[in-house]
Amino acid sequence: MKGIKIVTIGGGSSYTPELVEGFIKRYDELPVRELWLVDIPEGQKKQNIVGNLARRMVKKAGVPMEIHLTLDRREALKDADFVTTQIRVGLLDAREKDEKIPLKYNVIGQETNGPGGLFKALRTIPVILDITKDMAELCPNAWLINFANPAGMVTEAVLRYGKIKKVVGLCNVPVGMQMNIAKLLEVDSSRVRIDFAGLNHMVYGLNVYLDGNNVTNKVIDMITSENPSMTMKNIADFGWEKDFIKALGIIPCPYHRYYYKTRKMVEHEIEESKKDGVRAEVVKKIEKELFELYKDEKLDIKPPQLEKRGGAYYSDAACNLINSIYNDKKDIQPVNTRNNGAIASIDDDSAVEVSCVITMEGPRPITVGDLPVYVRGLVNSIKSFERAAVEAAVSGDYSKALLAMTINPLVPSDEVAKEILDEMLQAHKKYLPKFFKE
C-alpha cells in the first residue's frame, strides 16, 4: 500500500512544523507516507533546518512518514495526491516593502490588502500558475491547496487561468472567528456553526448557530455590549462602533477593520512602524528566533513559540481540509472556491470564500442566496479590485495595475495610486518579470 503523497511548495517555511504536527496527529485516518518539502535555492538553508526538525518530529511520533527535501519541484510533483503552496515570493523583504511604501503615502501598508495585497498578487500569481502547469502534467488528479496569500486572488487566478481545476484557497480567518465566537458564548467551538460568505479576508458571518439554533442576534448583542477581543495576531484589536454593528446585523472579520476603520488603522500602523517596525520586521525577528529553536537537535515537537507567528489554526484548517477530501468527511468548512451561484451578486466563475461541504469530490458551496444589501457593495468593490489585479498579474499591463490600485477602496486617489504603483514596481522589479520584459 502506497499511502498519501503530499508536496509542500515553500516547504522551508517556519509554518511547516504546524503541518507536520497536523499530519502526525491525523495519521490513523490520513496516512501521509511521503511529505515532500520543496523550496528554492535561496530557501535551502531554512528548508534543511525545518526538514530535519520534521524528521525528528516524525521519528518521535513513530509514524512511517517519509520527509523528502528537494529544490526540484517537478521531481516532487510526480504523482502527488495533494499539493500545498505556502510560498512567499521575495520573502519577508518584499513584505516589508509592501507594508512600508504605502505608509509613506498615508495608505494602509498590509500584506494582503491595499497596495501591498496588489503587489503580493502580482508577484505570486505567475508563480502559482506555473505550478498548475507542472501539476497538469505530473499529477493531474492532485488537489492544489493554496495557503499562499493573497489566497482569494490566487484562487481567482487559478480558476480563470490555471491549468488544473482542483484548487482550494485556504485561510485561517473564518476558523479564528468561530473560535472567538465560541469563547464569547462560553461553549465548545464544536457546538457553534457559522454561515460564512464573502471573499478572502473580507468574509462575514451571516448567521451563527449554537446547537442548531440561530443565535446571531445574541452574538451581535454580545459583541456590541462586551466589546470582546476578536482579532488576529497581525491586526490591531480595535472594537467596532456598536450601533454600526447592530445595524449591519452580521459579523465582520478582523480584516474588515482595514475598511470600516481605515483612518484609525493607518494612524496605528504609522505609529507602530515607528515603534516596533512594520509587521514584516516583527515577523523577521520571530522567524529568526524560531529557526534558532528549530536548529536545536533535541527539539522533536512543534515548539510552542510558533504560536506567536500568527498562523493559528492554519495547520488545522489545512489538515482538516485534506482529511475531509481524502475521507469524504462531508463536514462544513469555509474555503475559497468557485462561486457557482452560491452568492447571487458575484459571477458564477469567480472565487468566493464560503461555507462548503467538503466531499471526496472537493468543496461544494452551500447556497447563500445573496449577501445583505448593506455589504454587497464593499464585497463587490474588492471583487472588482481582485479581477483587475488578476488581469494585471497575468498580462503585466501597467494600466491594468493602475486600475487595480485606483479602484482599491483603501487607495484614496488615482494620483496617489500612480505614485505608489511606480515606487512599488521599482522596488519589486526583480519579482515582476511580466512587467519588466526585456
Q: Choose the binding region for a copy of itself from 43-51, 276-284, 314-322, 330-338 (rule: CB under 8 A).
A: 330-338
Using CB under 8 A, which of the segments 65-73, 167-175, 304-312, 413-421 binds a copy of itself?
413-421
73 is in an annotated binding site: no
Our CB check for a copy of itself shows the closer of 314 and 326 to be 326
Distance separating alpha carbons of residues 141 and 160, to the nearest angstrom: 18
| Residue 131 to residue 398: CA distance in whole angstroms | 24
Residue 32 beta carbon to a copy of itself: minimum distance, rounded to whole angstroms: 18
Place of cell 470564500: 353
Kindly report the CA angle at 115 between 397 and 120, in degrees rounded to 5?
A: 75
Instruction: Report the site for Mn ion in 161-180 (rule: CB under 5 A).
Output: 171
110 in Cβ contact with 142 (< 8 Å): no
Judged by CB under 8 A, the chain residues 174 through 213 that form the site for a copy of itself are 193, 209, 211-212
Question: Which window, 43-51, 63-71, 302-310, 361-369, contacts a copy of itself (CB under 8 A)?
Answer: 361-369
C-alpha cell at 308: 506567536
* Binding of a copy of itself by 342 (CB under 8 A): yes
Phi (first) and psi of residue 261, to 5 degrees: -140, 40
What's 383's DSSP letter?
Answer: H
> Can you tell me the distance from the alpha carbon of 50 to that of 44, in angstroms, rounded to the nearest whole number?
10
Residue 433 CB, shortest distance to a copy of itself, in Å, is 20
The reply to whether 378 sits near a copy of itself by the rule CB under 8 A is yes
- Minimal CA–CA distance to 342: which of 367, 323, 310? 367
436 binds, among a copy of itself, Mn ion, none (CB under 5 to 8 A by kind): none
Least Cβ distance, residue 152 to Mn ion (angstroms): 9
Cα–chain-centroid distance for residue 124?
Answer: 12
Query: Is 149 labeled as ligand-binding?
Result: yes
Q: Is 68 annotated as a binding residue?
A: no
> Least distance (Å) from Mn ion to the CB of residue 426?
28
Nearer to a copy of itself (CB atom), residue 26 or residue 387: 387
- Examine residue 417 and tell whether it contacts a copy of itself (CB under 8 A): yes
Q: At 145, phi and psi to the nearest 5?
A: -105, 105
The smaller minimum CB distance to Mn ion, of residues 171 and 208, is found at: 171
> Which three cell numbers, joined as nine digits, stand for 413?
486617489
| Cell output for 271 | 505609529
Regarding 344 and contact with a copy of itself (CB under 8 A), the answer is yes
Question: What residues pair up with 274 in beta bridges, in sequence order?
Answer: none
Please check if 201 is assigned to a binding site. Answer: yes
Candidates 203, 368, 420, 424: give the one binding a copy of itself (CB under 8 A): 368
Query: Which entry of Mn ion, a copy of itself, none binds 171, CB below 5 to 8 A by partner kind?
Result: Mn ion
| Chain residues 220-279 in contact with a copy of itself, contact rule CB under 8 A | 240-241, 243-244, 246-248, 260-264
The three grid cell numbers given for residue 395, joined into one nine-digit string: 498580462
Q: Which of 222, 345, 423, 425 binds a copy of itself (CB under 8 A)?
A: 345
Cell 484609525, located at residue: 264
Q: How many residues bind Mn ion (CB under 5 A)?
A: 1
The span of 44-52, 132-140, 397-405, 423-431 binding a copy of itself (CB under 8 A) equals: 397-405
Catalytic residue IDs: 255
Q: Provide the grid cell at 27.
A: 495519521
Name which of 234 and 340 has its Cβ closer to a copy of itself. Answer: 340
Which residue minimizes CB distance to Mn ion? 171
* Residue 384 contacts a copy of itself per CB under 8 A: yes
DSSP 66-79: EEEEES-HHHHHTT
Q: Which residues contact 195 (CB under 8 A, 6 or more apart)?
A: 205, 206, 207, 355, 366, 368
* Other residues' Cβ atoms within 10 Å of the Cβ of residue 351: 30
Closest CA to 26 of 306, 307, 320, 313: 320
Toward a copy of itself, which CB reaches closer, 49 or 321? 321
Task: Please give the grid coordinates belonging to residue 3.
Answer: 499511502
* Residue 371 CB, nearest approach to a copy of itself (Å): 10
State whether residue 86 is helix, strand or coil: coil
- Interacting stretch for a copy of itself, rule CB under 8 A, among 17-25, 64-72, 117-125, 382-390? 382-390
Question: Residues comprising the binding site?
Answer: 95, 149, 171, 201
Question: Residues comprising the binding site for Mn(2+)?
Answer: 171, 201
